[in-house]
């Protein structure tokens, strides 16, 4: 990163492995935040536990590093107490979709006024690369040495069908697009969910024959398909879900709705 305008340089060096996709997400978030001209004093950051959840502690702003899976519950309380703050949640697939799964669904259902960035690296990175609820079927992790017998959650689809106003997904191989959707989401009300599908070369990559950051990032790119392309190809929503399970993940803006947010509903 050329500069650390929103991050605490005094906390460097950071704890991420070489080639970790979280660095790209940090960089994209900073660019979007600065492009938008937002104020760190009017923004609070909340996270759970995990490598991705360390992000909140690196931002030069007030932040809460909470318990595993509970970031959205803390963030909801904070937003209700400080309605003028933009509350940003940094989380991971383990934190949000696995241990915190129910909080995730309920926050989306409420359309709570939160901005959520989930770094989905398909495993529990911090604790050594265990299987998570987004690990792909048959993929190897430290706890599924014969391949994952389960199927993954599609976090963005869960958010969209649970009621979040804005849902967008890109991979860390799509930094420009990530900046654009973060910028777009930061200006909206209700629950805004950005899924950054990211490389974890140290664990998920190493166990699945893509140990280098370049190989892992290429895998992300090759296994994603833009939602607009799906339409051109005449694919339906069902094909989409099937593709997600069998190989390709849809990227793009998956939902952009204008449903009344939780705060709007209680302030009428
Ligand atoms: C209640 C509880 N259970 C388990 C843990 C151990 N733990 C710490 S981080 C983590 C996984 C985090 O995974 P994810 O959210 O995907 O983040 P990543 O490290 O991959 O970025 C786990 C299981 C914990 N801290 N607290």
pLDDT tens digits, one per residue of 145-170: 999 999 999 999 999 999 999 999 99
**Which ligand 1 atom is the nearest neighbour of the CA of 48?**
15
pLDDT of residue 230: 78
For ligand 1, say whether the CB of 132 is within 6 Å of any of its atoms: yes
pLDDT-derived band at 1, boundaries 50, 70, 90? very low
Rounded Cα distance between 247 and 174, Å, is 18
- Is residue 33 predicted with pLDDT exceeding 70? yes
Ligand 1 centre distance from Cα of residue 78 (Å): 22
Q: Residue 244: is its pLDDT beyond 80?
A: no
Say if ligand 1 is within 6 A of residue 122 CB: no
Nearest-CA residue for atom 1 of ligand 1: 68
Q: List, in sequence order, the alpha helices (H) in 59-154.
A: 71-81, 93, 101-110
Question: For residues 46 and 57, what is the distance between their CA atoms, to the nearest angstrom?
Answer: 9
List the CATH code of the domain at 19-258: 3.40.50.970
Single pTM value for the model: 0.96
Looking at ligand 1, which atom is closest to the CA of residue 67? 26
Q: Once rounded to an integer, what is the mean pLDDT over residues 204-217?
A: 97
68 CA closest ligand 1 atom index:
26
Q: What is the pLDDT of residue 240?
A: 72
How far does the centroid of ligand 1 lie from the alpha carbon of residue 237, in Å? 32
The closest of 55, 74, 62 to 14, measured between CA atoms, is 55
């Amino acid at each position: 990163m050329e500069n650390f305008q929103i991050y605490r340089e005094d906390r460097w060096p950071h704890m991420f492995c070489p080639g970790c996709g979280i660095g790209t997400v940090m960089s994209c978030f900073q660019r979007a935040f600065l492009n938008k001209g937002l104020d760190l004093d009017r923004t609070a950051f909340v996270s759970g536990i995990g490598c991705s959840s360390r992000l909140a502690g690196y931002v030069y702003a007030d932040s809460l590093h909470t318990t595993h899976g509970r970031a959205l519950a803390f963030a909801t309380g904070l937003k209700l107490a400080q309605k003028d703050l933009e509350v940003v949640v940094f989380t991971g697939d383990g934190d949000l979709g696995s241990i915190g799964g129910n909080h995730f669904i309920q926050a989306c259902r409420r359309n709570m006024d939160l901005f959520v960035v989930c770094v989905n690296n398909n495993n529990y990175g911090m604790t050594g690369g265990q299987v998570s609820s987004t690990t792909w079927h048959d993929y190897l992790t430290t706890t599924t040495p014969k391949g994952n017998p389960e199927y993954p959650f599609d976090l963005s689809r869960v958010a969209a069908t649970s009621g979040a106003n804005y849902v967008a997904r890109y991979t860390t191989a799509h930094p420009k697009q990530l900046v654009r959707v973060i910028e777009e989401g930061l200006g909206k009300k209700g629950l805004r969910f950005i899924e950054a599908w990211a490389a974890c070369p140290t664990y998920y990559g190493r166990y699945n024959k893509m140990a280098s950051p370049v190989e892992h990032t290429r895998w992300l790119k090759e296994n994603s398909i833009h939602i607009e392309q799906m339409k051109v190809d005449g694919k339906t929503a069902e094909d989409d879900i099937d593709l997600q399970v069998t190989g390709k993940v849809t990227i793009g803006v998956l939902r952009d709705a204008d449903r009344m947010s939780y705060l709007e509903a209680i302030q009428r």
